[in-house]
């Protein structure tokens, strides 16, 4: 219970910070939609297969800290899947899994060209220079993972005690992680914009897929997201 309370505090803290009035807004809110894919014991390649890509979606809030920096909180949902039948070198073992991820994060965002986007004319009116503006971000968070590993195709190739240990260890988990990524923004006007970003979630667990002891317990899992975000300034 203490971990859940701490997670909620971390997620909400940026929303209660007093934002500096940078440009003409105090904060931004956005809706995100995109894709999620997994890298771990059941996927020997970082490159996602189309069959293994699933939808992701979420919401975020962002407050400016300076003309180039911002702090944001987000809640993301994603489904991760893996099937060793898709890889010839893994087909003989045949593990599969499905994991639903519910992620909360707090990220520091740096946008180097942001200070050049807004300017005042001779009458003092705020104007926007429409730039394709890149940014980077990183931070921390937790994912609540609902795990569904499937060992039904295994035919005596893996020690049954190891499979049994994984079955006992996996139903749901709270997973600490480090999200980091890059993106690019385009403003439609002073109040509305869109962003495309790609990011990785580097987890401190080997149980994102629900399988560890019966696979490779010495290497942690991770997952990646590519999202489009439509955001509005307030």
Q: Which residue has the tokens 């999202």?
A: 227
What pLDDT score was predicted for residue 67? 85
- What pLDDT, on a 0 to 100 scale, did the predictor assign at position 128? 75
Could you tell me if 162 and 214 are in contact, meaning their C-beta atoms sit under 8 angstroms apart? yes
- Mean pLDDT of each 10-residue bin along the chain, 234 residues long: 54 51 73 96 79 94 90 96 84 88 96 80 73 94 94 75 87 92 94 96 94 90 97 93
Distance of alpha carbon 136 from alpha carbon 140, whole angstroms: 14
Residue 37: exposure state from Cβ atoms within 10 A (0-12, 13-18, ≥19)? buried
Query: What is the predicted pLDDT for the residue at 31?
Result: 98
CB 221 within 8 A of CB 202: no
Domains annotated for the chain, with CATH where assigned, are 2-233 (2.40.160.20)
What letter does residue 48 receive in the DSSP assignment?
A: P
pLDDT of residue 19: 42
Sign of CA dihedral 191, 196, 202, 207: positive
The sign one gets for the Cα dihedral 4, 38, 110, 33 is: negative
User: How many contiguous H segments (helices) and E segments (strands) does the chain have?
Assistant: 2, 10
Q: Is 181 helix (H, G, I), strand (E, B) or coil?
A: strand
């Amino acid at each position: 219970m203490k971990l859940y309370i701490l997670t909620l505090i971390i997620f909400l803290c940026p929303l209660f910070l007093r934002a500096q009035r940078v440009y003409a807004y105090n904060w931004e809110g956005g809706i995100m939609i995109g894709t999620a894919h997994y890298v771990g014991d059941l996927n020997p390649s970082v490159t996602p297969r189309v069959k293994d890509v699933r939808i992701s979606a979420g919401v975020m809030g962002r407050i400016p800290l300076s003309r180039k920096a911002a702090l944001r909180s987000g809640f993301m949902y994603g489904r991760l899947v893996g099937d060793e039948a898709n890889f010839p070198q893994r087909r003989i073992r045949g593990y599969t899994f499905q994991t639903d991820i519910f992620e909360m994060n707090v990220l520091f965002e740096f946008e180097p060209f942001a200070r050049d986007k807004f300017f005042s004319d001779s009458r003092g009116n705020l104007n926007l220079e429409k730039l394709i503006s890149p940014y980077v971000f990183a931070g921390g968070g937790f994912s609540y993972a609902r795990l569904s590993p499937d060992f039904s195709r295994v035919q005596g190739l893996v020690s049954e005690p190891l499979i049994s240990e994984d079955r006992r260890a996996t139903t749901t988990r709270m997973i600490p992680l480090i999200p980091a990524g890059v993106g690019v923004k385009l403003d439609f006007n002073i109040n509305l914009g869109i962003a495309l970003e790609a990011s990785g979630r580097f987890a401190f667990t080997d149980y994102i897929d629900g399988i560890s002891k019966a696979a490779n317990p010495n290497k942690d899992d991770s997952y990646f997201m590519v999202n489009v975000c439509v955001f509005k300034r307030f």
